[in-house]
């Protein structure tokens, strides 16, 4: 199992390219199931989760080819011959459940295992089920699998989500594109990944309005056609690498970044004393000098502060001047990185969904263990500003969401290397 060794080395400077969004790409890939014609995605990230989704789509009979060193995904679902998403694949990744809506719309039936992924909370499927059942699906849970069918075909409906779930919004949107009549989705998620999916579906012939707002309207069509679509910039990778100079000092330009993707996050950086400005090529981030100031954070659905940047923000707050309070309102088990940061000398108190961080002058290197995807990169960020050497173990989580981390950070001046243990 690989580990990453990091040696604290002062300021970071230079440019860092931001990849296409993992969460967007994992949503766009199942959209190929909606049409017999090819769907091509450009600006795709090169990650293990993308390989897992490729494996899942292939198991259903889709054809997926990777081109241009993995940055282009050419897909075709003209010959689907299986409607069962098997546990052995689905257990690896939460986003696997996004084949449910497209298969119901295209095939009228689907059997999908309950999904896996990072151990950061329960993340149930109930909102997905309720939405699809409102469209006419019959769904039954048997032996860990959702057995779904649509005897009379999907029909448009008014659906009120109890929570603006990103996954449920995506599954319902995809299914509704081929439903008879109009679907209105209220309290819909507003994330950039939702807008990216809607843009792709429109390029395939879907009729969708209101994406990016809490009310999305989908007018069903008889069929969708092929398309080529660029994956939106990964706002979580963007925010993560914006924190590198914030934690270590220096000035870094994140190529492809936009404040529109990380507005609430930028507000917190500004309050902490971090300078962010838009450039012709992306976002430039610099620490203004001295220690950063402590700021409080509450995770919320977009456009609020992203839960996927909470662990990385905690790493910044570990050496901030003052005390910060981070409240996690999305997932109930997302402070597992706190004990690992404490091994490096951080002063953190966790009570339920709230973590109180008392800033210290400096962290010290130590052996630590990555507990999930975002926790793993937060430990790397902290280690780059720590005194001495840090060994981050169990970094297979990292490869699910960040491509070529050692290369990207190394080009900024970080002392970071991967070793096989």
CB 45 within 8 A of CB 404: no
The tokens of 258 are what? 């936009």
Give 391: exposed, middle or buried? Use CB within 10 Å, 0-12, 13-18, 19+. Answer: middle
The DSSP line for 23-48 is HHHHHHGGGGGG-SS-EEEES----H
Q: Is 22 marked as a binding-site residue?
A: yes
Q: Is 133 marked as a binding-site residue?
A: no
Three-state DSSP at 344 gives coil
Q: Is 126 marked as a binding-site residue?
A: yes
Find tokens 């720590």 and name the residue. 386
Residue among 118, 200, 254, 266 flagged as catalytic? 118
Q: Is 125 marked as a binding-site residue?
A: yes
Q: How many CB atoms lie within 10 A of CB 122?
A: 8
CB 38 within 8 A of CB 74: yes
Q: Is 330 marked as a binding-site residue?
A: yes
Q: Is 124 marked as a binding-site residue?
A: yes
State CA 415 to chain mean position distance. Answer: 26
State CA 393 to chain mean position distance. Answer: 22
Q: Is 75 marked as a binding-site residue?
A: no
Rounded distance between C-alpha atoms, residue 15 and residue 421, angstroms: 31
- Verify cis geometry, omega within 30 degrees of 0, for the bond prior to 303: yes
Find tokens 């993560």 and name the residue. 240
Active site residue 118: yes
Write out the E strands in 126-273: 138-142, 145-149, 158-160, 182-186, 207-209, 215-219, 227-230, 250-255
DSSP state of 18: P
Q: Is 94 marked as a binding-site residue?
A: yes
Annotated binding-site residue numbers for phosphoenolpyruvate:
22-23
The set of catalytic residues is 118
Annotated binding-site residue numbers:
22-23, 94, 123-127, 308, 330
Annotated binding-site residue numbers for UDP-N-acetyl-alpha-D-glucosamine:
94, 123-127, 308, 330
């Amino acid at each position: 199992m690989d580990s990453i060794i990091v040696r604290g080395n002062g300021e970071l400077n230079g440019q860092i390219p931001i990849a296409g969004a993992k969460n967007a790409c994992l949503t766009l890939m199942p959209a190929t199931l909606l049409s017999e014609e090819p769907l091509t995605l450009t600006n795709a990230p090169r990650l293990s989760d993308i390989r897992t989704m490729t494996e899942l789509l292939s198991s259903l009979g889709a054809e997926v080819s990777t081109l241009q060193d993995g940055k282009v995904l050419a897909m075709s679902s003209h010959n689907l011959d299986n409607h069962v998403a098997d546990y052995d694949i689905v257990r690896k990744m939460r986003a696997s459940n996004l084949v449910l809506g497209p298969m119901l719309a295209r095939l009228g039936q689907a059997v999908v295992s309950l999904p896996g992924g990072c151990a950061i909370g329960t993340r149930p499927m109930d909102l997905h089920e309720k939405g699809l059942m409102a469209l006419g699906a019959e769904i039954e849970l048997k032996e860990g699998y959702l057995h779904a069918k649509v005897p009379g075909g999907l029909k448009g409906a008014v659906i009120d989500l109890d929570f603006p779930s990103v996954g449920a919004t995506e599954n319902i949107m995809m299914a509704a594109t081929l439903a008879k009549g109009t679907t209105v989705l209220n309290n819909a998620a507003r994330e950039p990944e939702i807008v990216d999916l809607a843009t792709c579906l429109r390029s395939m012939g879907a009729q969708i309005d209101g994406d990016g707002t809490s009310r999305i309207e989908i007018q069903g069509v008889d069929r969708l056609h092929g398309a080529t679509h660029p994956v939106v910039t990964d706002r979580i990778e963007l925010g993560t690498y914006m924190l590198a100079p914030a934690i270590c000092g220096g000035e870094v330009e994140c190529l492809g970044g936009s404040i529109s993707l990380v507005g609430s996050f930028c507000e917190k950086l500004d309050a902490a004393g971090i300078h962010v400005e838009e450039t012709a090529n992306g976002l430039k981030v610099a620490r203004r000098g001295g220690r950063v100031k402590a700021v409080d954070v509450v995770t919320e659905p977009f456009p609020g502060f992203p839960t996927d940047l909470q662990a990385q923000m905690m790493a910044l707050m570990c050496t901030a001047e003052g005390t910060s309070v981070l409240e996690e309102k999305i997932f109930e088990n997302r402070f597992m990185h706190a004990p690992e940061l404490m091994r490096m000398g951080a002063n953190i108190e966790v009570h339920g969904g709230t973590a109180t961080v008392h800033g210290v002058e400096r962290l010290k290197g130590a052996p630590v263990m990555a507990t999930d995807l975002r926790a793993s990169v937060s430990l790397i960020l902290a280690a780059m500003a720590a005194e001495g050497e840090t060994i981050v173990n169990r970094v297979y989580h990292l490869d699910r969401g960040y491509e070529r981390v050692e290369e990207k950070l190394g080009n900024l001046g970080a002392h970071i290397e991967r070793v096989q243990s």
